[in-house]
Structure 1
Amino acid sequence: MIYRYVWQATMAAHFLVIAYIALGGFAAWWRPRLAWPHLALCAWALVQLTGLVECPLTALENWGRARAGERGLLPGGFIDTYIEGIVYPEEYVAVVRLAVIAVVLVSWAGLAVVIRRRRRRPSRTTGTSAAPAPEASR
């Protein structure tokens, strides 16, 4: 029973990671520090596209599935099992990948604009106090 929870939790984490890869750059508009984990996950996604290494989440899910007596993921891994042919038709793989890359690039361009605007704006914590100085009495 615990192995079922392992692979199901891993599957949910996998969906969250993929969503963060696609949309995490927009979260960095709110908190620029989120750009670093987003950049790391995007780099990892590019490595995964080469097919040279197996995703650790895929390995963990397959391990949990095997221990639970379930069939493993398709040879293409998580995306081939849960997304391609289900969320979008398989013949649109290249189009979807390009669309995700475009979304990521737009989010990073927007992040650059957000950071530039924040640097131009004077800080609220420095400078003089917000209350006006009292006028001298006559």
Structure 2
Amino acid sequence: MIYRLLADLMMVLHGAFLLFFAIGGFLAWRWPKLIWVHLAIGIYNIVNVTLDFACPLTGVEKHFRREGGEVPYEGGYIAHYLDGRVWPEGATPIAEKVGFALLIISYVGFFVLRSRRKRRATREGSVVTRT
């Protein structure tokens, strides 16, 4: 019972990991320190997609499913849970491109906002008050 619960927890955490990959850069617009976590996740995903290796989160989930008496699914998390459900079957390469486009757009926006904030702070800090 506990292993099935742990497997389900890993499934949810993996989904949150992927969701954060898609929108975390935009969240960093509001909470700038998140950019470092998002950058690490972005680099990890770029390496994973480029080298096409099995995600350790999937491996942990499958381990818990086996320990819980279930037969783990074939393939990876995205193919099992998202392909054909969240987007049309076979469109995973397009979804990956959309995810990486969101990453780039969010980073451009992050640096534009950061630059504007710095300029505004510099301008406000350089105002001389007269007495």
The TM-score range, normalised by the shorter chain, is 0.7 to 0.9
Superposition RMSD in Å: 2.2
Which residue does 1:100 correspond to in 2? Answer: 99
1:6 aligns with 2:6: yes
Equivalent residue for 1:80? 79
Q: Which residue of 1 aligns with 2:88?
A: 89
> Cα deviations across residues 20-55 of structure 1 (Å, max 9, x unaligned)?
001100011011110111011011111221223x32
**Cα displacement (A) at 1:97:** 1.6
Q: CA deviation at 1:120?
A: 1.0
- What stretches of structure 1 of length at least 5 have no aligned partner? 134-138
Aligned to 2:52: 51
1:1-138 alignment to 2 at 5 Å? Answer: 1-49=1-49, 50-52=51-53, 54-75=54-75, 77-122=76-121
Per-residue deviation, 1:127: 8.4
- TM-aligned CA deviation for residue 69 of structure 1: 0.9
Q: If the length of structure 2 is used for normalisation, what is the TM-score? A: 0.87
Unaligned 5+ runs, structure 2:
none
Structure 1 residue 103 displacement after superposition: 1.1
- Give CA-to-partner distance per residue, 1:89-132, whole Å, 9 cap, x none: 12322222211111111100100111101111227xx789xxxx
How far apart, in 1, do the equivalents of 2:99 and 2:52 lie?
A: 18
Cα distance in 2 for residues equivalent to 1:91 and 1:9: 26
Q: Give the count of matched residue pairs.
A: 128
Could you say which structure has the higher helix fraction? 2
Runs of 4+ in 1 over 3 A off after TM superposition: none
Bigger-Rg structure (1/2): 1
